[in-house]
Amino acid sequence: GCILNGKLYPFGRIERTQDCLWCNCNQEEIYCCSLYHTPINYDKEKCKVVFNKITCNYDVVEKDNPSKECFVYSRV
């Protein structure tokens, strides 16, 4: 298998690691891509970005009321 951040994963496709990555593990290497997209265009005065490890995504919420989501215009 492959070791990533101290955790052993089996050879083959890894749908989701504990760090929210999709990986492919073989005898020569492990190749990973993130499962999330970073918000870049939102109301930065009113809102803040919070990483949600359950959904493997960034939530953009109001600074004064984190229970309310903010509109995100674009992500990368």
Burial class (CB in 10 A: 0-12, 13-18, 19+), 20: middle
Threshold 0.95, pTM exceeds? no
The domains of the chain, with CATH numbers, are 2-34 (no CATH), 39-75 (2.20.25.590)
- Selection from 43, 22, 41, 20 nearest residue 32 by Cα: 22
DSSP code at position 32: E
At 19-70, the pLDDT tens digits run 999 999 999 999 999 999 999 999 999 999 999 999 999 999 999 999 999 9
What angle is formed at CA 72 by the lines to CA 70 and CA 76, rounded to 5 degrees? 140
